[in-house]
Amino acid sequence: MKVKFTGAVVVFASTALLATGCAGQDDDKGAAAPAAPATTSAAPAAPTTNGVEALEAQQILDKAKAALKKAGSFHMKGDIVTDGDKMGLDFKTDNGDIKGKLSMGGPSVELLEVGQKRFIKPDEAFWAMTSGGKKQGAAAAELVGDRWVIIKAGDKDMGDMFGFSDIDKMLSADGKVTKGSVKDVDGKPAIGLIDNSEDGGTLWIATTGEPYPLRIEGKDAAEGGLDFTEFGEEFADIVAPAAKDVVDIEKLSGK
């Protein structure tokens, strides 16, 4: 898995690619008759496989992308280490709309996209990191306050921060993709898809139900990972901010 960070830009250039039943017994005994033999009910079958284990690696990846697109919404959360720096990500995406938070040790920034309009809400430490120092950061934080900063349409650098809803980009590999081992991820059986590039890792795909991506992991456990949950859920908190809570930073600073 690899997440590139340049200045204030986070780009998903590539990612690490990618139950048991219970048995019971029923004993029927007549009042005056000898006890009837105990009968054991059949154990429920294990969850039916969705068939992806039998496919080629690229076919599994394609099905995972298609399943995630069909779901329309999901929640992605976790911590990753890239170039020695730890980053926390917590994002919900719903049919192209996004709400979440990116943290980089101390600095953090909230992201919001609704109806193709994009906004950010940095904290003071983030302003300091991106504007030249603590003094400038404090001034920017005071100027903006607790408001969302609107991002200009066509701003590619800032727009790259919102790549979490681009499923094809997010679930793409730099190297050859091969099938790995199987294991349970949060109680769900899954198969690993390995990105064999230098910075690759493993994407775990559900082998029962829809073939959703369940977790992205780096080559090393110390690199952390990202979990995918809440597929197809409605996120009522992804709403556009009120006009009074939005600021154009260029107009505000007189540029």
Q: Specify the DSSP class assigned to residue 170.
A: H
Question: Measured between alpha carbons, how far is 99 from 240 in angstroms, rounded to an integer?
Answer: 10
Q: Which residues contact 117 (CB under 8 A, 6 or more apart)?
A: 150, 240
pLDDT given for residue 1 in this prediction = 40
Question: Measured between alpha carbons, how far is 58 from 202 in angstroms, rounded to an integer?
Answer: 13
pLDDT given for residue 223 in this prediction = 83
Token couple for 171: 């679930």
pLDDT given for residue 4 in this prediction = 28
Question: Measured between alpha carbons, how far is 132 from 31 in angstroms, rounded to an integer?
Answer: 88
| Amino acid identity for residue 213 in this structure | P
Write the pLDDT tens digit of every residue in 128-171: 888 778 888 898 888 899 999 999 887 777 777 787 778 888 88
CB 175 within 8 A of CB 134: no
Question: Measured between alpha carbons, how far is 55 from 49 in angstroms, rounded to an integer?
Answer: 12
pLDDT given for residue 46 in this prediction = 62
Q: Which residues contact 43 (CB under 8 A, 6 or more apart)?
A: 21, 22, 23
Question: In b/e form, how buried is each residue of 148-181, taking b as 16+ CB within 10 angstroms?
Answer: bbbbeeeeeebebbbbbbebeebbbbbeebbbbe
pLDDT given for residue 182 in this prediction = 96
Model pTM? 0.78
Token couple for 106: 């101390």
Low-confidence ranges of the chain (pLDDT < 50): 1-37, 40
CB 67 within 8 A of CB 78: no
pLDDT given for residue 155 in this prediction = 79
pLDDT given for residue 29 in this prediction = 40
Question: Measured between alpha carbons, how far is 98 from 235 in angstroms, rounded to an integer?
Answer: 10
| Amino acid identity for residue 138 in this structure | A
CB 49 within 8 A of CB 187: no
Count Cα atoms within 13 angstroms, Cβ side, for 225: 19
Nearest of 14, 20, 47, 15 to residue 206 by alpha carbon: 47
Question: Measured between alpha carbons, how far is 17 from 76 in angstroms, rounded to an integer?
Answer: 15
pLDDT given for residue 45 in this prediction = 61
Token couple for 37: 């033999």
